[in-house]
Homo-oligomer: A and B are copies of this chain.
Amino acid sequence: MNMATDWGEVDLMDKDEHIEQASRAMKAMSHPLRLKILCVLGDKEISVQEIVDHVGTSQSNISQHLAILRDKGVLRTRKVANRVFYRVGDTRTLKLLSMMRDVFCGFSK
């Protein structure tokens, strides 16, 4: 019922380096298509085509958004012959995503 949030040590994120990193990662995720891509991915590993099918826009557009997520270190790829499979690259992002799911889809308000 309460937040159990220890705001006494907020300054853990006061180092500009951390702030920069956090905002870069968040910014990379803060786009409807990219967020949708991340939701479609979850903790699975999915090919570009599948992503295109699920998310629904042009292949080029998806590819560009994937590139952004890849370049910012949010996603990692594995190439298998013809195809490229994407997955969420690190545990932190996965955790953040699951938390956002709770926050935005829970009953809290």
Number of identical protomers: 2
Q: Report the separation of the CA atoms of residues A109 and B91 in the bound assembly, to the nearest whole angstrom.
A: 6
Tell whether A75 is near chain B: CB-to-CB under 8 Å: no
Chain B residues within 8 Å of A36, by CB = 14, 16, 19
Interface 1/0 per residue, A25-44 and B, CB below 8 Å? 11101111011100110111
Q: Report the separation of the CA atoms of residues A13 and B98 in the bound assembly, to the nearest whole angstrom.
A: 10
Contact of A92 among B21, B26, B44, B104 (CB under 8 A): B104
Q: Report the separation of the CA atoms of residues A23 and B101 in the bound assembly, to the nearest whole angstrom.
A: 11
A-B contact pairs, 21 of them (CB 8 A): A3-B91, A5-B43, A5-B98, A7-B98, A10-B40, A11-B39, A13-B39, A14-B39, A20-B32, A21-B104, A22-B35, A22-B103, A22-B104, A23-B29, A26-B29, A27-B30, A27-B31, A91-B108, A92-B103, A92-B104, A99-B103
Binding site for B on A (CB under 8 A): 3, 5-7, 10-14, 16, 18-23, 25-27, 29-32, 34-36, 39-40, 42-44, 90-92, 94-96, 98-101, 103-105, 108-109
